[in-house]
Amino acid sequence: MDNRAPLETTGKIERLIFRIRGQNVMLSTHLAELYEVEPRTLVQAVKRNIDRFPEDFMFQLTGKEFEDLKSQIVISSWGGIRRAPPYAFTEQGVAMLSSVLRSKRAVQVNIAIIRTFVRLREMLAAHKDLERKLIALEKKYDEQFRVVFDAIRALMAPTQKPKQKIGFEVKEPKARYGTKGGKKR
């Protein structure tokens, strides 16, 4: 039997992973949908085994976090009025769900979810590696092209021209005022 999840399920799972409190999580309502159980059934199973779900495995969203998330998604798939915000499960919390929900479907879905989390982690690692390389290239080329950039800046700077006088200058001998007959005494 092939344990890989169908492509559409994997793609659907990726769209259901959110970044909340700095962690990649899945919401209890979405997990219940994937496991094909009622959300309250999933939450009840978790509460019966609460010692298996410390805060770094699962936490309940605050009202504000839930409202912010709904506004990001635009169309709420949760419908109706909820009494309480959903729970968020980290990758470890999802893995722990397999010990609480024991159906064949739950095992298959858990395998698909864990593989999706692993693939996301690999993509993030590749992204960080690419970012480090880009920063190194910028530093390298910044040093090499500093002379070029300095020359361009010098060309762009306005040149200081001597100020021109406004008007015109008459170039004739100066008239002598205050003397008689034009002669000096």
* More confidently predicted of 151 and 113: 113
For 32-88, what is each residue's pLDDT tens digit?
A: 988 888 889 999 999 999 999 999 999 999 988 888 888 776 545 555 555 788 999
Continuous segment of H or E residues that includes residue 94: helix 91-100
Share of the chain above pLDDT 70, in %: 69
Measure the CA angle with vertex 49, ends 48 and 51; round to 5°: 130
In a domain, 155, yes or no: no
pLDDT at 3: 47
pLDDT at 27: 92
Assess contact for 87 and 40: CB atoms under 8 A.
Answer: no
Average pLDDT over the chain, rounded to whole?
77
Share of the chain above pLDDT 90, in %: 17
pLDDT at 48: 93
Range of 50's domain? 7-126
How many structural domains is the chain composed of?
Answer: 1
Using the predicted structure, report yes or no on whether residue 89 has a pLDDT greater than 90: yes
In a domain, 165, yes or no: no
pLDDT at 25: 92
Q: 142 is written with which tokens?
A: 């910044």
In a domain, 156, yes or no: no
In a domain, 36, yes or no: yes
Query: Measured between alpha carbons, how far is 53 from 64 in angstroms, rounded to an integer?
Result: 23
In a domain, 149, yes or no: no
pLDDT at 143: 61
The reported pTM is 0.59
In a domain, 28, yes or no: yes
For 142-170, what is each residue's pLDDT tens digit?
A: 666 666 656 766 776 666 666 777 777 77
Query: Measured between alpha carbons, how far is 156 from 95 in angstroms, rounded to an integer?
Result: 61
State in Å, rounded, how far the first CA of the chain is from the last one.
Answer: 128
In a domain, 159, yes or no: no
Q: Sorting pLDDT into bands at 50, 70 and 90, what band is 2?
A: very low
In a domain, 106, yes or no: yes
Instruction: Select from 2, 21, 37 the least CA-distant residue to 112.
Output: 2
Using alpha carbons only, how large is the chain's radius of gyration in Å? 37
Using the predicted structure, report yes or no on whether residue 101 has a pLDDT greater than 80: yes
Q: Sorting pLDDT into bands at 50, 70 and 90, what band is 95?
A: confident
Would you call 98 exposed, middle or buried from its count of C-beta atoms within 10 A (0-12, 13-18, 19+)? Answer: middle
Provide the CATH number for the domain around residue 102. 3.10.260
